[in-house]
Amino acid sequence: MAKKTTTKSAPTSPRPNAWAQRDAKTARSLRDLADGVVKSSLAGREPKFDVPTRAASNTKWNKSRGILQMGPASNTRELFSLGQARSFMQTLLHAQSIQKLLQQGKTSSLRGMYYESKHTIAGTKESTFDEQAESDKILEDLEVTLGSLREELHIFADVRGGLVGNITFIDAGDEINARRMGSGGYQIPSIVEPEIIQFAKCDAEFVLHVEKGTVWRRFNEDRFWEKHKCIVTHGGGQPPRGVRRLLRRFHDELGLPIICLLDCDPWGHYIYSVIKQGSISLAFESERLAIPEAKFLGIRAKDYVQCELPEDVQIALNERDIARAKQIREYPWFRDHRGWQREIKQMLDNGFKMEVESLIKKDISYVTETYVPERLAAKDWLE
């Protein structure tokens, strides 16, 4: 560990209860929800509340801000409606479980929430939840209804993704020097809010986000982050919310550009799209997860010619790839973007995809020593 860091005064207690303020806000929203139900009941009106509509039809592309947003539509959820009674009850059950988590200062998984609120209704054979999918959906409803991210509701998803690089931060009271994380690296947790993770000493100038752990290992082994003063992250494929939220915090709070190195295929383009604008089905999270300034460094369709790659790197596009590419091309943020229109067209014209790993055909460290440094120097990226 470096001796001189700005972290000396940082909290060292194992579990600082720094969530108090944020929890208080979440608890208030929960109480408002419950109060509304109680009030209408006492007044002899039917108990109900509004849930913002999570659907493509209620998703708007905010061009000036460069993010996807939820529209104003919402649905009323009523107790005395045959079609809604079940989800009404489920929402309140989960709200209760969340309140318990806040009180205990603990976190739970999506699976844990499902078990927590699952029980057979007395005197019936009816279960409050039949499947986890049903429970996950209700938790998303609660996120939008309360205006709180899932992480603020103390709910985490599975762990995926890691990092290494020129930064020291505090995680739950522990000082993490990401420059000294060996070959393994730091495992990015699901909840990375400022109450858990506080940035301390950063001398990185940007973040390089790569798609897979295997590519990440190449960058760590070659100590790319040291030579190029950066942080290298991976998301194990489609990055989970914890990784996206941490990238967003690196961008907003430390002013670091987020530069993505993903495969040249519709899957890589989609990962970029989600990092940049958010996902259509979960537009409400974009406000705090999307990074409209994120850059796509590669792999680019032009690389086959420009890097003089051999034929062996080509993986033919199949029909599903082609259909998906055409769909992505029509996303509003790509539709009006000449660079992206050209990029996707060129991939379709090529008729093949290319993976980051295929650059090994030039040399095992071509990607870390030549490809990325050259593109960075030339600011040759799509954004």
Q: According to the binding rule CB under 8 A, does residue 357 interact with a second copy?
A: yes
Q: According to the binding rule CB under 8 A, does residue 353 interact with a second copy?
A: no
For a second copy, the binding residue among 25, 60, 63, 106 (CB under 8 A) is 106
Within positions 148 to 177, which residues make up the interface with a second copy, using CB under 8 A? 156-160, 162, 170-176
- CB 81, min distance to a second copy, A: 26
Please, are residues 51 and 36 in contact by the beta-carbon 8 Å criterion?
no
> Does residue 115 have an active-site annotation?
yes
For a second copy, the binding residue among 98, 355, 375, 382 (CB under 8 A) is 355
- State which amino acid sits at residue 73: A
Q: According to the binding rule CB under 8 A, does residue 62 interact with a second copy?
A: no
Residue listed under structure tokens 């806000």: 25
The smaller minimum CB distance to a second copy, of residues 215 and 274, is found at 215
* Binding flags for a second copy, 287-316, as an x/- string (CB under 8 A): -----------------------xxxx---
In Å, what is the CA distance from 48 to each residue of 28, 45, 132, 208, 367? 18, 9, 24, 47, 56
- State which amino acid sits at residue 61: W
For a second copy, the binding residue among 71, 147, 184, 194 (CB under 8 A) is 184
The smaller minimum CB distance to a second copy, of residues 3 and 379, is found at 3
For a second copy, the binding residue among 27, 34, 181, 254 (CB under 8 A) is 181
| Secondary structure (DSSP) of 230-290 | EEEEE-SSS--HHHHHHHHHHHHHH---EEEE--BSHHHHHHHHHHHH--GGGGGGHHHH-
For a second copy, the binding residue among 4, 9, 13, 14 (CB under 8 A) is 14
- CB 279, min distance to a second copy, A: 22
The smaller minimum CB distance to a second copy, of residues 189 and 239, is found at 189
| Of 10, 2, 16, the residue nearest 200 (C-alpha) | 10
Residue 10 tokens, joined: 């940082």
**The residue count for the chain:** 383
Phi-psi region of 210 (alpha: psi -120 to 50; beta: other; left: phi over 0): beta
Beta bridge partners of 231: 165, 207
Q: What are phi and psi of 229, to 5 degrees?
A: 45, 70
Q: According to the binding rule CB under 8 A, does residue 223 interact with a second copy?
A: yes
Residues 6+ apart with CB under 8 A from 305: none
Q: According to the binding rule CB under 8 A, does residue 243 interact with a second copy?
A: no
Q: According to the binding rule CB under 8 A, does residue 257 interact with a second copy?
A: no
In Å, what is the CA distance from 4 to each residue of 11, 89, 135, 171? 16, 54, 47, 18
Q: According to the binding rule CB under 8 A, does residue 118 interact with a second copy?
A: yes
Residues that bind a second copy (CB under 8 A): 1, 14-15, 100-101, 104, 106-112, 115-116, 118-120, 127, 156-160, 162, 170-176, 180-191, 196-197, 212-218, 221, 223, 226, 234, 236, 310-313, 355, 357-358, 360-361, 364-365
Tell me which residues are annotated as active site: 115
